[in-house]
Structure 1
Amino acid sequence: MTAMEIGTPSAWDVLESANLPNGYRVEITAGKIIMTPQGEHQWKVIPHAASQIDRQLAGHGDILSNVMIDFPSILYGYAPDLAIIAPGAERNSRGRYAWHSLEAVIEVASASTRDNDFQKKFRMYAECGIPLYVIVDPSDGTCTTHSRPTRTGTYAEQDRIPFGEDLVLPLEGREIVVATDGFPRDRR
């Protein structure tokens, strides 16, 4: 049993009875509730990648998009663009997956999320031991994979893959390959 399951508050608790508007991504960063509309490039990358990942998981894990994940913090509540859930992972007493259930997180960067994706989420995911963190960046047409998390909030390894090349996700005992040639570039 983890601390989240034995009574540690979740950042999401503050939104328990909130009526949130549809079409907005809601996350909690440094104790602040942040609502942003999903950008066009995010909307196009997420289903393209999710369908490829789901097909390859074939019942050995699950893929979620923009779903609340319980992290060990009352100040940070993230709902990753894509989260790969480990095979056999179970929901906690709140009915949500917790950070230790994640094999990989994929975030699609936008002008409004860059600071969070490249700094705050990077640090949180590494501190939580998320094995693989991928940032898809339509502005420069790359996917950056971060692996071997450290407890000091960094990842020991990094690899950049340009759009058009296959994005390889090394998971526990298997490998997922995502074709990126359909990912849109943000040429603003």
Structure 2
Amino acid sequence: MTAVDERPITSSIATFFEDLEVPEGYKAELLRGDIVMMAGPDRVHNGIVESVQDQIPRKRWRRLQTQDIAIPGETSEPQPDLVVLARGAEDGPGRLIPAPAVTLLVEVVSKTSVDRDYGIKRSMYAAGGVPAYLIIDPMAALCLLLTEPARKGEAADYRTTRTTKFGETATLEMLGVELDTSDFETLPDIRRHYRP
């Protein structure tokens, strides 16, 4: 697979996003033509991402935070909480990693990202052909592993889902990892959500 140095700009929103100056302490994502800006993550969020990253063998896998992804056929440049790809799958320069080079994407749900993580990102990552998407929800104290992406565009979704409660082991076959969730902290379920 070759590196993506520059993605063709197909709309004015994509041009605007490329030039956007994001205030310190915030991050911005382009999600199906909408620019979404959010505050930096909290300690619980960062602790979960650190725990997941530490359990994925560095020798075989690249584990990248703050990495933008290019989704083919989408006006989207999300920045998942953790991007996992095989070493050598994408070694070139550039700001974007093409979604087809990725093995697993991880999002840790926050009170403001619930709908995006369970909704639009689920559809976008499936549309991009990402083989596995792991949603970690510290409010519901569970992990949802989605595999087998199908269809394109807004109709895209994953065929297979597996739920693991915090404290149990989540099997990540695609990485050969048994993910220990026993040290994942929780957050109060501030607003009731009905996902998954």
TM-score, shorter chain, exceeding 0.5: yes
Counterpart of 2:118? 118
Partners of 1:146 and 1:156 within 8 A in 2: yes
Counterpart of 1:83? 83
Cα 1:164–1:13, aligned 2, differ >3 Å: closer, same or farther?
A: farther
* TM superposition outliers: structure 1 runs of 4+ over 4 Å: 4-7, 10-13
Counterpart of 1:28? 30
Count of matched residue positions in the alignment of Structure 1 and Structure 2: 182
Q: What one-letter code is carried by the residue in structure 2 that aligns with 1:30? A: R
How far apart are residue 137 of structure 1 and its match? Answer: 0.6
Partners of 1:69 and 1:99 within 8 A in 2: yes
Cα 1:68–1:176, aligned 2, differ >3 Å: closer, same or farther?
A: same
156-165 or 4-13, which moves further after superposition? Answer: 4-13
Counterpart of 1:160? 163
SS at match of 2:170: strand
Q: Distance in 1 between matches of 2:21 and 2:181?
A: 36
Counterpart of 2:61? 61
Partners of 1:169 and 1:175 within 8 A in 2: yes
Q: Distance in 1 between matches of 2:147 and 2:24?
A: 33
How far apart are residue 78 of structure 1 and its match? Answer: 0.3
176-185 or 82-91, which moves further after superposition? Answer: 82-91
Relative to the length of structure 1, the TM-score reads 0.85
How far apart are residue 149 of structure 1 and its match? Answer: 1.0
Partners of 1:68 and 1:78 within 8 A in 2: yes
Q: Work out whether 1:179 is the aligned partner of 2:183.
A: no
Relative to the length of structure 2, the TM-score reads 0.81
How far apart are residue 18 of structure 1 and its match? Answer: 3.5
Q: Distance in 1 between matches of 2:6 and 2:36?
A: 27
Q: Work out whether 1:49 is the aligned partner of 2:38.
A: no
Partners of 2:146 and 2:158 within 8 A in 1: yes
103-112 or 146-155, which moves further after superposition? Answer: 146-155
What RMSD, in angstroms, separates the aligned Cα atoms of the two structures?
A: 2.4
Counterpart of 2:193? none
